[in-house]
């Protein structure tokens, strides 16, 4: 029995890891309730923004990325069109604006769409901020003030009912969005009093073609605050993912409108410059193939795109929220019903707090922003406010190593919940709520405990099976105490065995690394934009360890543990699909092939 003690440890670890993983990742049943809440009715639409998709007399053209500039010039000369970039950063992606004769606009558009080097062409529509996103004057509720010893100690957090609705207080114990870059494609972002401790990375101003991304409207700063307002700093209010980094992208003017060309180019720019999440609290009623292609570009390059559904109060989701690859977010209010202004339809993915100041001045979403030149705290309402809640939750998920956009969306939707008081879901539930109301705590738990448990369970199970086989054939090597202990420790660390640490609310040095398997360390060491590094998600580390240490018999247990831990992690990722491996078109084949190689290294190291 003593000889098999180590194997029993492996088997117990396997059962624990797989059990935790199954429990967290299982399908959640609908919440039980007593009464059924009413959905918004089919009343006449509110806040229809007639200018949100108005034509500009220009065309926007998306050329193939490898198009020869000489070809563009010759095409323009042939069609009588003058092409110009939307900004200094337009040329690499070949998104150009075409000035055309209004009388020949339809013929020019048809000719461009038929050209083999043109991937998409449209009228250069103007999109805008949904009109419902208007501020109420600051309202202070003294009874909601927070003391310095509470968490978070932001004095006006008690007025942020919307963060409680998505279960933020308990979520912050386990995740804060560390290092994830979130692009706010909006009116710009100004570093107001309660954004002073929030990290920023450079963005771009596509309205004035400059590096100055200050907000001259107030909408973008309010949105950024919901995503990453400085939190637990004794000032103002809190944000969802307060350790995330904001990338300010100004595409809307002081009047709150901007061209499709600028928005499409900003999406590409943000994705190319490290943004793992994009928030767009803007839109219009007209579809643009150029914008749809930009959303797909970001999605295919590993960026999660989150968009407001629109504030027209009708059954038509605005664009770009309605585009494939975008997460469309509807708005809820304090009682968890969807709001009177929130658009609905089959494209809705999730619902999040957007607020309603009509019934209660403090029923909006409270954040710090500039409005009419004053830096203060304002209640806004709109799907513009719902979308950044979802973008913040997406950043929390990405910070846990779930970086593939489809996997991020899956976590958000599978962990969303039914509204309070709703029993049997009515037939049109999904069109108003999508999968349900966001639950940040459940989403982070699924990413940490569920996926982490499966990764560790796979590593422990693989090690147990391999060592049992070697034991039965009397081929198991003798590593001594150091070899066995080191091997077990390496297996746990490499496979992600301390995945439960963030849920314990402990101040453990190096917890960000210890709570993830070694292949996932790339995100902690180099930032979320580097996650899925080809060298980390491979058998390279076991190969190096084997080459350097195999000549030392007592180190072979360490080699075996490392190799089998990495192998289990890679196999689990091949099954889960939560990471997009960089520069590798065949993720599953790469992960399985390297998992097999790492297993072989572990087998050789463990054998006599």
On whether both 374 and 230 belong to a single domain, the answer is yes
Q: Which pair of tokens denotes residue 300?
A: 């295919």
Q: pLDDT value at position 92?
A: 54
Q: pLDDT value at position 334?
A: 95
Please, which residues bridge with residue 62 across strands? 95, 120
On whether both 403 and 528 belong to a single domain, the answer is no
Of 309 and 67, more confident = 309
Of 133 and 212, more confident = 212
Task: Say how many CA atoms lie within 13 Å of 27 toward its Cβ.
Answer: 3
Classify residue 340: in a domain, yes or no: yes
**Residue 249 phi, psi dihedral angles, 5° rounding:** -125, 110
Range of the domain at 391: 135-419+429-438
On whether both 390 and 478 belong to a single domain, the answer is no
On whether both 362 and 306 belong to a single domain, the answer is yes
Is residue 123's pLDDT more than 80? yes
Q: Which pair of tokens denotes residue 553?
A: 């018999």
Is residue 25's pLDDT more than 80? no
| Nearest Cα residue to 23 out of 454, 500, 565 | 454
CB burial string 518-535: b at 16+ within 10 A, e below: bbbbbbbeebbbbbbbee
On whether both 450 and 397 belong to a single domain, the answer is no
Of the residues 49, 136, 154, 186, only one is catalytic, namely 186
Top mean pLDDT of 8-17, 374-383, 513-522 is at 374-383
On whether both 322 and 190 belong to a single domain, the answer is yes
Asked if 569 and 452 count as a contact pair (C-beta separation under 8 A), the reply is no
Least confident of 19-28, 202-211, 270-279, 433-442: 19-28
- Alpha carbon distances (Å) from 45 to 132, 286, 316: 12, 17, 10
The mean of the pLDDT values for the chain is 85
On whether both 149 and 260 belong to a single domain, the answer is yes
Classify residue 35: in a domain, yes or no: no
Last residue of a domain, one of 373, 407, 438: 438
Tell me the mean pLDDT in the region 282-311: 94
Of 48 and 119, more confident = 119
Classify residue 228: in a domain, yes or no: yes
Q: List pLDDT tens digits, range 484-524.
A: 677 888 888 898 878 888 888 777 777 888 889 999 999 88
Distance, in Å, from the CA atom of 312 to the CA atom of 308, rounded to the nearest integer, reads: 11
Of the residues 271, 384, 399, 538, only one is catalytic, namely 384
The domain total for the chain is 3
Last residue of a domain, one of 124, 144, 165: 124
Classify residue 350: in a domain, yes or no: yes
On whether both 390 and 526 belong to a single domain, the answer is no
Tell me the mean pLDDT in the region 143-163: 85
Top mean pLDDT of 91-95, 96-100, 376-380 is at 376-380
On whether both 519 and 596 belong to a single domain, the answer is yes
How many other C-beta atoms lie within 10 A of the C-beta of residue 356?
A: 24
Q: pLDDT value at position 16?
A: 56
On whether both 363 and 449 belong to a single domain, the answer is no
pLDDT-based confidence at 36, cuts 50/70/90? very low
Q: pLDDT value at position 142?
A: 66
Q: List pLDDT tens digits, range 528-560.
A: 888 999 999 999 999 999 999 998 888 888 999
Domain with residue 95: its CATH number is 3.30.70.80
CB burial string 124-137: b at 16+ within 10 A, e below: bbbbbbbbbbbbbe
On whether both 311 and 294 belong to a single domain, the answer is yes
Q: pLDDT value at position 68?
A: 85
Last residue of a domain, one of 124, 147, 180: 124
Q: Which pair of tokens denotes residue 563?
A: 């190799």
Of the residues 162, 167, 217, 219, only one is catalytic, namely 219
Q: pLDDT value at position 51?
A: 41
On whether both 267 and 414 belong to a single domain, the answer is yes
Of 181 and 10, more confident = 181
Least confident of 22-26, 259-263, 424-428, 477-481: 22-26
Distance, in Å, from the CA atom of 331 to the CA atom of 335, rounded to the nearest integer, reads: 12
Classify residue 48: in a domain, yes or no: no
Classify residue 315: in a domain, yes or no: yes
Residue with tokens 């279960």: 167
Q: pLDDT value at position 393?
A: 98
**Residue 441 phi, psi dihedral angles, 5° rounding:** -65, -45
Classify residue 45: in a domain, yes or no: no
What is the SS3 assignment for 350? strand
Q: List pLDDT tens digits, range 242-267.
A: 999 999 999 999 988 899 999 999 99
Q: pLDDT value at position 139?
A: 63
pLDDT-based confidence at 33, cuts 50/70/90? very low
Least confident of 17-21, 155-159, 263-267, 412-416: 17-21
pLDDT-based confidence at 375, cuts 50/70/90? very high
Q: Over pLDDT 70: what percentage of the chain?
A: 85
Is 384 a catalytic site residue? Answer: yes
Of 522 and 361, more confident = 522
pLDDT-based confidence at 104, cuts 50/70/90? confident
Classify residue 34: in a domain, yes or no: no
Tell me the mean pLDDT in the region 305-322: 95
Domain with residue 255: its CATH number is 3.40.50.200
Q: pLDDT value at position 21?
A: 52
């Amino acid at each position: 029995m003593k000889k098999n003690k180590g194997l029993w440890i492996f088997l117990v670890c396997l059962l624990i890891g797989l059990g935790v993983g199954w429990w967290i990742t299982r399908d959640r049943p609908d919440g039980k309730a007593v009464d059924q809440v009413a959905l918004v009715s089919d009343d006449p639409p509110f806040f229809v923004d007639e200018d949100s998709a108005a034509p500009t007399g220009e065309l926007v053209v998306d050329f193939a990325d490898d198009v020869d500039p000489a070809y563009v010039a010759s095409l323009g000369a042939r069609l009588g069109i003058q092409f110009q970039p939307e900004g200094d950063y337009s040329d690499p992606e070949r998104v150009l604006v075409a000035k055309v004769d209004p009388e020949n606009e339809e013929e020019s558009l048809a000719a461009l769409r038929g050209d083999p080097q043109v991937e998409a062409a449209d009228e250069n529509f103007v999109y805008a901020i949904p009109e419902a996103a208007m501020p109420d004057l600051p309202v202070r509720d003294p009874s909601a003030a927070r003391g310095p010893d509470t968490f978070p100690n932001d004095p006006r957090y008690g007025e942020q009912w919307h963060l409680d609705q998505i279960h933020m207080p308990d979520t912050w114990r386990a995740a804060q969005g560390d290092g994830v870059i979130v692009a706010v494609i909006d009116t710009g972002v100004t570093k107001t009093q309660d954004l002073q401790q929030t990290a920023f990375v450079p963005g771009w101003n596509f309205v004035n073609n400059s590096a100055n991304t200050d907000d001259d409207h107030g909408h973008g700063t309010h949105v950024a605050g919901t995503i990453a307002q400085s939190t637990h700093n004794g000032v103002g209010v809190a944000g969802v993912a307060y350790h995330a980094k904001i990338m300010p992208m100004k595409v809307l003017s002081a009047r709150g409108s901007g061209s499709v060309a600028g928005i499409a180019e900003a999406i590409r720019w943000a994705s190319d410059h490290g943004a793992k999440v994009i928030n767009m609290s803007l839109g219009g009623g007209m579809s643009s193939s150029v914008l749809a292609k930009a959303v797909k570009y970001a999605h295919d390059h590993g960026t999660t795109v989150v968009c407001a559904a629109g504030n027209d109060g009708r059954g038509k989701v605005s664009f770009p929220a309605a585009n494939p690859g975008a997460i469309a977010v509807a708005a809820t209010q304090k009682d968890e019903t969807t709001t009177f202004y929130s658009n609905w339809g089959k494209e809705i993915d999730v619902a999040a707090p957007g607020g309603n100041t009509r019934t209660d001045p403090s029923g909006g979403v409270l954040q710090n922003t500039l409005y009419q030149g004053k830096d203060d705290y304002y209640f806004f309402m709109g799907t513009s406010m719902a979308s950044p809640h979802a973008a913040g939750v997406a950043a929390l998920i990405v910070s846990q190593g779930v970086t593939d956009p489809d996997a991020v969306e899956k976590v958000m939707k599978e962990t969303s919940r039914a509204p309070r008081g709703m029993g049997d879901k009515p037939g049109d539930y999904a069109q108003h709520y999508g999968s349900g109301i966001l639950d940040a705590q459940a989403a982070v738990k699924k990413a940490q405990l569920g996926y982490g448990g499966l990764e560790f369970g796979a590593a422990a199970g693989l090690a147990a099976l391999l060592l049992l086989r070697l034991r039965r054939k009397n081929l198991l090597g003798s590593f001594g105490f150091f070899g066995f202990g080191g091997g077990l420790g390496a297996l746990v660390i490499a496979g992600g065995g301390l995945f439960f640490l963030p849920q314990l609310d402990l101040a453990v040095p190096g917890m960000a690394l210890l709570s993830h398997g070694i292949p996932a360390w790339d995100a902690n060491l180099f930032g979320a934009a580097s996650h899925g590094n080809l060298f980390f998600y491979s058998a390279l580390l076991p190969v190096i360890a084997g080459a350097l240490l195999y000549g030392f018999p007592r180190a072979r247990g360490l080699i075996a543990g490392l190799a089998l831990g990495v192998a289990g992690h890679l196999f689990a990722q091949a099954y889960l699909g939560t990471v997009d491996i960089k520069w590798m078109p065949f993720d599953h084949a790469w992960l399985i092939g390297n998992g097999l190689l790492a297993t072989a290294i572990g087998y050789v190291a463990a054998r006599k």
